[in-house]
A = this chain, B = another copy of it.
Amino acid sequence: MAKANEISHSMKFNLQSSLYYLINGPSTIFASLRCLENDYQTIADEKLTTDRQIEWEDLRYGLADNRFTRFSLETPGPLMIQYESVADIYPQLLNKSDVEDDGVRSIHSESMPYLFPSRYAPSDRLRAVAIDQFGGIKGKLNQALAVEQWIWERITYQHGSSDEKSSAIDTLENRKGVCRDFAHLGIAFCRALTIPARYVTVYSCLLDPQDFHAVFEVLVGGRWYLIDATRKAPLNGMVRIAMGRDASDAAVATLFGNIQGNGINVSTLISNEETTPFQPLYRQDLEENNQVISTI
């Protein structure tokens, strides 16, 4: 496995998000607010609150062992769910030339599902296009970065240009989308090139306007590398909430029953306790130095 650069360093963020709903009858929310806990990030001082007393249960499920909360609701009326925590992240900076590509033979078994097509990243349908477009590029990491650049150059970020049913096929056709669509197209292309790729929902520092964000990661030579084809936020300022094959695995909230969303509010700020000044690393910055960021 490639060795991370010495200049990699941790960063501390204050996270806050509020979800607003209007409950009309018995309903259930699966919400993914609590952040993942792993080598890449540690989470402290978590606080989950609601503006009225409701029943909930913390769960973990899926390939990435995401932390979900299931809220069971009965009484009609508005509801606010609020989450707060402090996260330390440890992005690993690597030189592209140090990344080894050892192919499908050495993929760890737990990463294999990320090779297969999923609802919003139907990689089997993109194989011919992916091979035509990127097949000639040498090295899996270079292919993934070429995918990122292709998307960034050709897909227009436009609110309202897609909906929750949009897949990578639609994004490729319409050449428009939001972060979710940029990630799905990147994932689909990478899997079509036999690169395991997963969807990641994140709290994202310096994203303007502040919101949840969606990016993706590719597995090359035993490490996962973070990619954001929207280039709207620094890659070293993202705290991972949930991961999965695509948005169906890692949606911030899935609603069942008689309930509707009523807005969200998200804030991802550098902690006051942080002593190191934050030096945002966007794709362009990394490209200049032939670097990539690994989440381990």
Task: List chain A positions with a Cβ less than 8 A from chain B.
Answer: 28, 30, 59-63, 68, 70, 72, 103-105, 109-110, 112-113, 116-119, 122, 124-126, 128-129, 132, 154, 164-165, 169, 172-176, 194, 248-249, 254, 256-257
A61 B124 Cβ-Cβ under 8 A: no
Tell me, rounded to whole Å, the shortest Cβ–Cβ distance linking A13 to chain B. Answer: 27
Q: Per a CB cutoff under 8 Å, which of B118, B119, B257 touches A124?
A: B119
CA distance A174 to B124 in the complex (A): 10
Q: List 29 A-B contacts (CB under 8 A).
A: A28-B103, A30-B112, A59-B109, A59-B112, A60-B109, A61-B109, A61-B110, A61-B112, A62-B63, A62-B112, A63-B63, A68-B109, A113-B249, A116-B119, A117-B248, A118-B118, A119-B119, A119-B122, A119-B124, A124-B165, A125-B165, A125-B173, A126-B173, A128-B175, A129-B172, A129-B173, A129-B175, A169-B173, A194-B256
B125 A256 Cβ-Cβ under 8 A: no
User: For residue A107, which residue of chain B has the nearest CB?
Assistant: B70
CA distance A154 to B118 in the complex (A): 26
Tell me, rounded to whole Å, the shortest Cβ–Cβ distance linking A103 to chain B. Answer: 8
Tell me, rounded to whole Å, the shortest Cβ–Cβ distance linking A67 to chain B. Answer: 10
Tell me which residues across on chain B come within 8 A of A117, comparing CB atoms: 119, 248
A164 B113 Cβ-Cβ under 8 A: no
Tell me, rounded to whole Å, the shortest Cβ–Cβ distance linking A241 to chain B. Answer: 16
User: For residue A27, which residue of chain B has the nearest CB?
Assistant: B104
User: For residue A113, which residue of chain B has the nearest CB?
Assistant: B62
Tell me, rounded to whole Å, the shortest Cβ–Cβ distance linking A69 to chain B. Answer: 11
CA distance A112 to B69 in the complex (A): 12
A132 B175 Cβ-Cβ under 8 A: yes
Tell me, rounded to whole Å, the shortest Cβ–Cβ distance linking A61 to chain B. Answer: 4
Tell me, rounded to whole Å, the shortest Cβ–Cβ distance linking A296 to chain B. Answer: 19
CA distance A64 to B84 in the complex (A): 33
